Amino acid sequence: MPHAAVVGAGIAGLAAAYELERAGWHVDVFEATERAGGRVKTVEKGPYVVDVGAFAIAARYPVYTALARSLGVQPQETSPYVAVFHDGRLHELRLDKLAASGLKTTLLSWPAKLRMARLGASILTAKLRGRLVYEDLRAADPLDDESGASYVRRLAGEEADRLFADPMMRVLTFAKSKDVSRIEVMSGLINAMAGKLTALPGGQETLITALVASLRSLRLNTVVQQVTEGPNGVDVSFAGIDGRPDSSTYDACVVTCPLPISAALCEQNDNLGRLAKEVEFGSVVSVVIGTTVRPSTPAFLILLPTEDDDQVATVYLEHNKLPGRAPDGHGLFVVHWDMGSAPDWINKSDGELVARALEITTSIFPEVRDTVDVSFVQRWPVALPRTRTGAFRAISEFTGVLDPNSRVQFAGDWLSQTGQNTAVSWAQKAARNVIDRHREAVRS
């Protein structure tokens, strides 16, 4: 039986291990923390069930959805409503009727709405030409030439950027439109036009639980220190919870950690080191608030333009996402900071963070003031890549020279546009490369 190591027990690592074990491999999965799942995390606090990491599943997540269904996990559609909070009021939109609700909304002026058609035509043209393949954006290299804000303002004007593209990017990337490549705007709008989002009834971590149950070897609290490919295998050096150094040699290894950690583990891969210098990772801070009063809006997601709040990026209404997340009549909110402001807030006290989260929540929904019965903070020091202009080109250069015959393969959501589908897609690709290489070696 061939033997593989998987470094990292986030969704990418677990999906890679699942694929390898189905092919008859023995797999050791190493995880530095006390839990599997990475940034997919569901927390239960009393009667509340809340996703504090990955929030939902886009319609363009076919690989993720297929994996979930193969494990008996069935995604369900969320509420179709979102809202933009601007000038002290909510402007509601329906994802499943985006064009119609976009025409009716008072958020944008009619000249801005008409200019949005130019933006849509540009994105549709790129899609039809095969430039926007979600899991592998190498074909999008020519589009990685300006920021999202520059792109939208050039085609649709300043108003469309301020009140549409910027708040959309702050939801999808926790970054302002001026701080991301236009590829993020193009792909994000395609996701929005797909018309629906789904989520897992028991929380996004339901899939993690199913994947862990399928494993034979998961080593939690085990810190991998180095991964080195040699002529006869891959040496993995690690230390367990007692701190004692140890090592094992494997037929292959799949490294699925965030980019800066992967680069530190695999020092012999110069291309990976160069990519880590090009693509910076940012932090994210989230605050969960449960209330004994539920606002009347059907929206499950509140978008915030930078001009309305330059620190907080978005507010999720978990009680509207799927049934069973909060008791009847109660509200459940997740407030996420913008990556630009998160470094200034991540080390503040829980009390300061909760107070700031309540400030924005009660400004949107005054009726929940003085009704809080649950609150807690989630900090993600290494959360998401900052996909500024040029980042996708750097990622494409790296993925373009990846060797499918190497004993060390890489997977993670930093290898294309960030998301659970990207993580699963690259995990399956990495596992199949390992399987195919070994099969050919046995034959020869």
Instruction: State the chain's mean pLDDT as an integer.
Output: 94
Question: What pLDDT does residue 137 have?
Answer: 82
Burial class (CB in 10 A: 0-12, 13-18, 19+), 407: buried
CB 419 within 8 A of CB 190: no
The pLDDT of residue 300 is: 95
Going by pLDDT thresholds of 50, 70 and 90, the confidence category of residue 52 is very high
Q: Considering the entire predicted model, what is its pTM?
A: 0.94
Which two tokens mark 308? Answer: 């309305």
The whole-number pLDDT of residue 440 equals 87
Q: Partners of 30 in the beta sheet? A: 7, 219
* CA end-to-end distance (rounded Å), the chain: 17
Position 334 pLDDT exceeds 90: yes
pLDDT higher than threshold 90 for residue 11? yes
pLDDT per residue as tens digits for the range 84-118: 999 999 999 998 888 889 899 999 999 999 999 99
b (16+ CB within 10 A) / e for 69-84: eeeebebebbbbbbbb
Six-digit token string for 30:
């190493």
* Percent of the chain at pLDDT exceeding 90: 86
C-alpha gyration radius of the chain: 22
For residue 188, what pLDDT is reported?
A: 87
pLDDT tens digits for range 402-418: 999 999 999 999 999 89
- The three-state secondary structure class of 222 is coil
Does the structure show a pLDDT above 90 at 281?
A: yes
Q: What is the DSSP letter of 30?
A: E
- pLDDT for 163 equals 97
DSSP for 133-185, please give it.
-TT-GGGGGGGTTSBHHHHHHHHT-HHHIIIIIHHHHHHHTSS-GGGSBHHHH
List pLDDT tens digits, range 155-194: 999 999 999 999 999 999 999 999 999 999 998 888 777 7
Q: Quote the distance between the C-alpha of residue 180 and its chain's center.
A: 15
Name the 3-class secondary structure at 216. Answer: coil
Q: Which residue has the higher pLDDT, 196 or 423?
A: 423
66 φ, ψ (degrees, to nearest 5): -65, -40
pLDDT, position 136: 80
222-259 residue pLDDT tens:
999 999 998 889 999 999 888 899 999 999 999 999 99
How does 376-403 read in b/e, with b if 16+ C-beta sit within 10 Å? bbbbbeebbbbbbbebbbbbbebbeebe
Q: Give the tokens for residue 140.
A: 């999008």
User: Region 342-357: what's the mean pLDDT?
Assistant: 97
pLDDT cut 70: percent of the chain above it: 100
Residues 6+ apart with CB under 8 A from 403: none
Q: If you search the block for the tokens 């998160």, which residue do you land on?
A: 342
Phi, psi of 343 (to 5 degrees): -60, -30
Give residue 61's pLDDT. Answer: 85
Average pLDDT over every residue of 12-17? 98
Place of tokens 């959309």: 168
**pLDDT of 442:** 81
User: Would you state the pLDDT for residue 126?
Assistant: 92
Residue 328, number of CB atoms within 10 A of its CB: 8
pLDDT of residue 99: 84
The DSSP secondary structure of 328-339, one letter per residue, reads TT-EEEEEEE-T
Helix (H) or strand (E) holding 198: strand 197-199
